[in-house]
A and B are shown apart, each in its own frame.
Chain A
Amino acid sequence: MSLPVTLATNRRILTQLRHDPRTVVLMLVMPTLLMVLLRYVFNSTAQFSAIAPALLGIFPFTIMFLITSVTTLRERTSATLERLMTLPIAKPDLLFGYALAFGLIAVAQVSIAALVSVTWLGLDVASSVWLLLLVAVLDALLGTALGLFVSAFARTEFQAIQFMPVIVLPQFLLCGLLQPRDEMGWLLSWVSDVLPLSYAVDALNHVTHSAEVDGTLVRNMAIVAGSALLALLLGAATLRRRTP
């Protein structure tokens, strides 16, 4: 692995995005707009505050998943990946370059959404806003890493989009937002224990409702970060230098 090559890849992806301002604007403001919409759907700060923390993680998670899976798929199908595989670049250099670029976007995206939620929409954060930001960025990174990974299993962008209902929606249903996880049947409760988004939502709820940084919070954050890293490494394993 080589840090300069990872950074060059990161710079290349951000430059590509810079030439596509519409996508950048959509990425930066969409989660915020959805939070605003959510706030006025409930028309009550209390109800909004109950559900907002989870969605502050879920919206960026979903958006980053979509964007990353389509972007990486484009690299795979446009023969630029094959060219890169003939060049002296390690597979993790490419994937970490992607993760870094989209991670930076996620930081901006989540910061705007959290700032608007806290200052304007009336979201109460019991612990620090920084901790909330950190957890939400981890969630977005998890979405990025999963998007990178599943792009290996799609042949077209059309298929890649369809992985959203497969990968994202079940996690959304089982993450504890609609029904507390321990009140689900044993099977679903067990499935929800395996899915990483559950820990992301637990961590966000903890940060907004309690000022205490305890072992459970640290463990949940570690699980989210670990899952993201695992998905990235699995993604690297799906890149092949030789193809049929």
Chain B
Amino acid sequence: MASSAVSIQGLRVRRGGREVLREVSCEIAPGTVTGLLGPSGCGKTTLLRSIVGVQLVEAGTVTVLGRPAGSRELRDRLGYATQNPAIYPDLTVAEALRYFAAVLRAPKSDVDRVIAEVDLTDHADVLIGRLSGGQRSRANLAVALLGEPELLVLDEPTVGLDPVLRDELWGLFGRLAAHGSTLLVSSHVMDEAARCGQLLLMRQGRLLAHDEPDGLLRRTGTPDLEQAFLRLIREGALL
């Protein structure tokens, strides 16, 4: 499908002699919020790194916005937030964002916009090293929002945030998708799955399912997504 925002065919990745991704294939439709869920260590981050184009892959193809992942032309069309904040602790929030905005050739007004979007306006002039863990991960997310990228790849952006903020961020993700951005958001918290339009369930380097939350519940005949995930794992084990 040429119209997919992300298209992955037979992706295999080996890290430190261990096979981390085994024959992963999927298509991510543009303008959706797709949740990538699975236990920690199942290969979520490696899959995201492959899409962003920083992961050495063994086999398979990853096409992002119609180009091979990691292409030069993609570098200002894609926003990536790593799980551990990748942002300078010895700069203030505004200083760090001004730097990344300059690298992206994003307009200066973008800095204030993204700071407001992650609700850090009161902390714009605080050193990132002095922020709390949750604030730091929001500053990290703000960098990914600079330049209004067409594809946002977010690795566990809501870890350690209080429920109110988490709710606000998921609201933001929905609005960004409504404006045409594609979002791929990883999480290991099942109760966030219901906020996604599409779900990718992953375990031990394989994709177990790719469906809408409702579709998944119907297919497995379970009352909630946690149960649905368990059912899928057990069925997979029987194969």
Q: Indicate whether A and B interact.
A: yes
Most buried by A among B52, B86, B87: B86
B91 touches A8 (CB 8 A): no
Given the complex, which residues of B lie within 8 Å of A87, measured CB to CB?
75-76, 100, 103-104
A83 touches B55 (CB 8 A): no
A19 touches B127 (CB 8 A): yes
Complex alpha-carbon distance, A79 and B100, angstroms: 14
Within 8 A of B (CB), among A97-156: none
Contact of A242 among B16, B70, B86, B96 (CB under 8 A): B70
Closest chain-A Cβ to B156's Cβ sits at a distance in Å of: 14
B84 interfacial by beta-carbon distance below 8 Å: yes
Complex alpha-carbon distance, A86 and B70, angstroms: 7
B220 interfacial by beta-carbon distance below 8 Å: no
B105 touches A83 (CB 8 A): no
Given the complex, which residues of B lie within 8 Å of A11, measured CB to CB?
99
Given the complex, which residues of B lie within 8 Å of A9, measured CB to CB?
99, 103
A241 touches B105 (CB 8 A): no
Give the number of residues in B that approach A within 8 Å (Cβ atoms).
Answer: 32
Given the complex, which residues of A lie within 8 Å of B85, measured CB to CB?
79
A84 interfacial by beta-carbon distance below 8 Å: yes
Within 8 A of A (CB), among B65-119: 70, 72, 75-76, 78, 80, 82, 84-91, 95-96, 99-100, 102-105
Q: How large is the interface on A (under 10, 10 to 19, 20 to 34, 35 or more residues)?
A: 20 to 34
Given the complex, which residues of A lie within 8 Å of B54, measured CB to CB?
82, 85-86, 241-243
B15 interfacial by beta-carbon distance below 8 Å: yes
Complex alpha-carbon distance, A78 and B90, angstroms: 12
Given the complex, which residues of A lie within 8 Å of B72, measured CB to CB?
88
A15 touches B103 (CB 8 A): no
B30 interfacial by beta-carbon distance below 8 Å: no
Closest chain-B Cβ to A41's Cβ sits at a distance in Å of: 36
- Decide yes or no: A8 and B143 within 8 Å by CB, A16-B88, A85-B54, A242-B55 being known contacts: no
Contact of B53 among A16, A78, A79, A242 (CB under 8 A): A242
A80 touches B103 (CB 8 A): no
- Decide yes or no: A83 and B143 within 8 Å by CB, A12-B99, A241-B53 being known contacts: yes
B56 interfacial by beta-carbon distance below 8 Å: yes
B78 touches A86 (CB 8 A): yes
- The 10 A-B pairs with the shortest beta carbon distances in the complex, nearest first, are A8-B102, A79-B86, A88-B75, A12-B99, A83-B86, A16-B90, A19-B90, A242-B56, A80-B86, A88-B76
List, sorted by A's number, 23 A–B pairs whose CB atoms are closer than 8 Å: A4-B105, A8-B99, A8-B102, A8-B103, A11-B99, A12-B91, A12-B95, A12-B99, A15-B91, A15-B95, A80-B88, A82-B86, A85-B54, A86-B53, A86-B80, A87-B76, A88-B76, A88-B103, A88-B105, A89-B103, A241-B54, A241-B70, A242-B56
